[in-house]
Amino acid sequence: MEVLYDKIFFMKYADIIIDISHERLDKTFEYIVPDELENSVVEGVQVVIPFGQGNRAITGYVVGLHDKPEFDVTKLKPIARVVKDSIAIESQLISLAAFLKRNYGSTMNQALKTVIPIKRKENEKLKKEISLNIPIEQAKIELNELLTKKNHAVGKERLLRELLEVDVIDWELATKRLQVHSANIRDLEKKGIVRVDSVRTYRNPHMTEAAERKNIVLNEEQEFAAEKIKADIDTGRRKTYLIHGVTGSGKTEVYMGVMEHVIASGQQVIVLIPEIALTYQTVMRFYTRFGDKVSILNSRMSPGERFDQFERAKSGEISIMVGPRSALFTPFPNLGLIIIDEEHEPSYKSEVIPRYHARETAVYRAKLAGATVVLGSATPSIEAYSRAQSGEYDLITLHNRAQGQDMATCEIVDLRAELQSGNRSMISRRLKELMADRLEKKQQIMLFLNRRGLMGFVSCRACGHVLKCPHCDVSLHLHKNGVMKCHYCGYTTQATKTCPSCGSKYIGSFKAGTQRLEEIVKEAFPQARVLRMDADTTKGKDGHEEILSAFAAQEADVLIGTQMIVKGHDFANVTLVGIIAADISLNESDYHSGERTFQLLTQAVGRAGRGKEAGVAVIQTYQPENYAVVSAAAQDYDSFYSQEYAYRNLLSYPPCSHILGIQVSSENQRDAIAQADILADLIRKTDSKVVIMGPEDAYIGKLKDVYRRIIYVKDDDYNRLVNIKDAIDRFLLEQKQYRSTSTWFDFDPINTL
Ligand code: ADP
Ligand code: ZN
Ligand code: ZN
């Protein structure tokens, strides 16, 4: 009796999923893990199980393990065996899901849904687009021929006229607004005059465009970088590389050189780029080089469209997937290379559970697939650079711009001194002088404003003091009715007339809006043609593209914008970049603010002087001595890195340590507080060595009537934090109290929680 009881007690049970492409991923079957398989059955492995009445042997994946059976033990069957060396793409993705669950915290189900796209619902319609299938000149002839016919279909005429004006027309738009009969469209399609595509966001370009490929020969530095990586690949070394290349050094050309090599050997490539950089310009570079082998993912796609893209990848129809974070889960059967461009971008960290980081996840996926990882940035994240310093990544540096152009020279303007001398404009005298000069020379200017400054925080122009919310440690914002408000907690107070810090009366809202800036530029330079790019002017689907291509075609002299304009665009005629208020992001409260400021400034400075003429950047700031500003102006990454690293080290922030953020939320404030206290106790009991901060209210303590408490746990050892997460998960599973609360985890959070 005794023995049998023990046996059942120590037995392990596995949840097994059989068809992972099935829409309802939560359907699992429970099996017994036999003693002899105890060590080899782990989450993510492929196993053979007897299934159904006839005990047919089928394969499944282990997605969960536990000590207590959920079903009647006497009815459970044991796992037959573990599938040896299963390298099927599915098993890789399942392991990847297990990795996400373990390292970032989530249920296996949530993790699976992150890596496996949901099948298209039967009734989901594909969006269709119509475009010309013949050159424009020929289309004009077709239209004229049509017009000479008596009783010609006016629908066809309307469609052709429209297509002479725009590249593509929505099927919906054509049939509804232009009232073109679908039979007419199909007829034109049959005659080869138009083509109808089921939209996958970016259509493959027409051949004429593909022919325009620039013939680029890699320069010495680029060649060295590409050859090094290729040589490692050929000799079977699989590594992670960090390419630190100054802005305009031609990193993309290096990526493409390596990509070509990998594809030639029959393997596939994933290229991650930040959503914001997913512009026509970038995408066209990949298309012109690799043609139909490329597919693009973006976040506007429906789950069904993503599913289709993934099917194409699985079937071998394409060999390159370009997209944001989630493209990492493209089910390529023989993945050889993962590239992460602008590796430092915060958008590579997911903000939904599991809150994974694409960089670490890519390295893990590459390990499973035997693939190489290439990270690139002009301003590497402190995390990645420290790994390169320690030898975990291979560092490759591109010191020079691709065609040997000089880096822009940089000038810092102290806005406090500017004010003392009586200039209260957003544009300093020096910047104005340079603008006049560039307009005279018919060169172009970009003026950059940090988006976060849009709302106008309240600060003192004499001493730089920023008014903050007493509850949230965020800056207050001035509202029309003369009150200052906290955008996070709603705290409201009367606007002050004098600075609480120095008594000066020059306190007010820094109305750093792009619109305001546009007015000022137009007043100062009435003859200048000004384009503005911000959330207002880019509402339409192609709003970005229109503005950027107009500026590229030199239809404007000045481009004003938020950080959207600093990412990855190449304007050869820009010789002046003005950064209107460099310190806005320094006023943020989290430990990344120095890094973000440095990155933004460096990227902005890097926009200047990409062509033949040398560039100048003017950084206007209230904190000219701040290390992030100083090293960005000097374009000295190493100096910034060493100061930032020292600061992180001193305060034990990542990458010098790891942080686990635990959020407990509830509509009932007392429950949230009590539950967070219970979890903090549990952490203390689980591991007495880790540092615990809190519980305290989250950065946004209450959001939509839900109270949020945060606990931060710090330790050098990531695994200890994982153990704490697991202990909490186990506890929550058993806990009967405080059902109103929910808990989630964030490892090494990117933003203050
Ligand atoms: P990064 O990504 O490092 O900012 P890009 O790859 O976008 O740089 O290159 C910047 C510009 O320089 C692009 O217009 C690119 O076509 C051009 N370029 C890159 N490498 C070369 C080269 N070896 N010869 C000529 N032009 C190049
Ligand atoms: Zn002051
Ligand atoms: Zn507040």
**What would the pLDDT profile of 549-603 be if each residue is shown by its tens digit?**
888 889 999 999 877 776 656 788 899 999 988 776 655 557 888 898 898 888 8
Atom of ligand 1 nearest to the CA of 378: 3
pLDDT band at 22 (very low <50, low <70, confident <90, very high): low
Ligand 3 centroid to Cα of residue 705, in Å, is 15
Q: What is the pLDDT of residue 211?
A: 44
Check pocket membership of 257 for ligand 1, CB cut-off 6 A. no
Q: What is the pLDDT of residue 521?
A: 94
pLDDT band at 530 (very low <50, low <70, confident <90, very high): very high
Check pocket membership of 377 for ligand 1, CB cut-off 6 A. no
Residue 457 DSSP label? B
pLDDT band at 660 (very low <50, low <70, confident <90, very high): very high
pLDDT band at 247 (very low <50, low <70, confident <90, very high): confident
Check pocket membership of 249 for ligand 1, CB cut-off 6 A. yes
Q: What is the pLDDT of residue 568?
A: 53
Alpha-carbon span 651 to 438, nearest angstrom: 45
pLDDT at 493 over 80: yes
**Residue recorded with tokens 């207050």:** 476
The helix (H) or strand (E) run that includes residue 66 is strand 56-66
Q: Whose CA is nearest to atom 14 of ligand 1?
A: 570
pLDDT at 453 over 50: no
pLDDT band at 6 (very low <50, low <70, confident <90, very high): very low
Q: Are 380 and 242 in contact (CB under 8 A)?
A: yes
The pick from 213, 215, 216 for probing ligand 1's pocket by mutation, whose C-beta has the most ligand atoms within 8 angstroms, reads 216
Q: What is the pLDDT of residue 231?
A: 97
Q: What is the pLDDT of residue 239?
A: 96
Instruction: Kindly give the residue spans of alpha helices, DSSP state H, lying in 559-636.
Output: 593-605, 627-633
Q: Are 479 and 550 in contact (CB under 8 A)?
A: no
The residues placing their C-beta within 5 Å of ligand 2, an ion, are: 460, 462-463, 465, 499, 501-502, 504
Check pocket membership of 350 for ligand 1, CB cut-off 6 A. no
Alpha-carbon span 527 to 505, nearest angstrom: 35
Q: Looking at per-residue confidence, does 630 or 215 come out higher?
A: 630
Q: Whose CA is nearest to atom 6 of ligand 1?
A: 250
Q: What is the pLDDT of residue 386?
A: 97
CA-CA-CA-CA dihedral for 606, 607, 608, 613, to nearest 10: 110
pLDDT band at 268 (very low <50, low <70, confident <90, very high): very high
Span 4-17, mean pLDDT? Answer: 69
Q: Looking at per-residue confidence, does 568 or 604 come out higher?
A: 604
Q: Is the peptide bond before 117 cis (omega within 30 degrees of 0)?
A: no
Q: What is the pLDDT of residue 308?
A: 80
The closest of 104, 90, 55 to 76, measured between CA atoms, is 55
Q: What is the pLDDT of residue 32?
A: 93
Ligand 2 centroid to Cα of residue 561, in Å, is 28
Span 246-262, mean pLDDT? Answer: 94
Q: What is the pLDDT of residue 208?
A: 41
Check pocket membership of 222 for ligand 1, CB cut-off 6 A. yes
Ligand nearest to the CA of 500: 2
Write phi, then psi, for 578 (nearest 5 degrees).
-115, 130
Span 6-32, mean pLDDT? Answer: 72
Q: Whose CA is nearest to atom 27 of ligand 1?
A: 402
DSSP 540-569: STTHHHHHHHHHHTT--SEEEESGGGGSS-
**What would the pLDDT profile of 196-239 be if each residue is shown by its tens digit?**
877 644 444 443 444 455 678 899 999 999 999 999 999 999 99
- pTM of this structure: 0.77
**What would the pLDDT profile of 44-76 be if each residue is shown by its tens digit?**
788 899 988 888 888 888 888 888 888 888 889
Check pocket membership of 145 for ligand 1, CB cut-off 6 A. no
Span 653-676, mean pLDDT? Answer: 94
Q: What is the pLDDT of residue 462?
A: 82
Ligand 2 centroid to Cα of residue 601, in Å, is 25
Alpha-carbon span 153 to 160, nearest angstrom: 11
Lowest mean pLDDT among 20-24, 410-414, 415-419: 20-24
Check pocket membership of 379 for ligand 1, CB cut-off 6 A. no
Ligand 1 centroid to Cα of residue 583, in Å, is 30
Check pocket membership of 251 for ligand 1, CB cut-off 6 A. yes
The closest of 493, 490, 492 to 705, measured between CA atoms, is 490
Atom of ligand 1 nearest to the CA of 255: 6
Span 619-628, mean pLDDT? Answer: 90
Q: What is the pLDDT of residue 203?
A: 40
pLDDT at 718 over 90: yes
Share of the chain above pLDDT 90, in %: 40
pLDDT at 21 over 90: no
Q: What is the pLDDT of residue 454?
A: 44
Lookup: tokens for 649 = 């080290």
Check pocket membership of 219 for ligand 1, CB cut-off 6 A. yes
Q: What is the pLDDT of residue 10?
A: 66
Lowest mean pLDDT among 122-126, 169-173, 369-373, 659-663: 122-126
The closest of 525, 522, 523, 542 to 533, measured between CA atoms, is 542
Residue type, 158: R
Q: Within a 10 A sphere around the Cβ of 218, how many other Cβ atoms?
A: 17
CA angle 36/40/41 to nearest 5° reads 95
Highest mean pLDDT among 119-133, 136-150, 332-346: 332-346
Ligand nearest to the CA of 463: 2
Q: Looking at per-residue confidence, does 340 or 127 come out higher?
A: 340
Ligand 3 centroid to Cα of residue 484, in Å, is 11
Check pocket membership of 247 for ligand 1, CB cut-off 6 A. yes
Check pocket membership of 253 for ligand 1, CB cut-off 6 A. yes
Span 379-405, mean pLDDT? Answer: 93
Ligand 3 centroid to Cα of residue 207, in Å, is 56
Q: What is the pLDDT of residue 19?
A: 65
Q: What is the pLDDT of residue 182?
A: 87
Instruction: Give the largest Cα separation in the chain, rounded.
Output: 98
Share of the chain above pLDDT 70, in %: 86
pLDDT at 27 over 90: no
Q: What is the pLDDT of residue 207?
A: 38
Q: What is the pLDDT of residue 689?
A: 92
Alpha-carbon span 190 to 171, nearest angstrom: 16
The closest of 343, 319, 323 to 333, measured between CA atoms, is 319
Per 3-state DSSP, the chain is made up of helix, strand and coil in percentages (nearest 5) of 40, 20, 40
What is the rounded average pLDDT for all residues in the chain? 84
Atom of ligand 1 nearest to the CA of 285: 16
Span 171-199, mean pLDDT? Answer: 84
pLDDT at 352 over 70: yes
Ligand nearest to the CA of 247: 1
Q: What is the pLDDT of residue 671?
A: 95
Q: Within a 10 A sphere around the Cβ of 87, how many other Cβ atoms?
A: 14
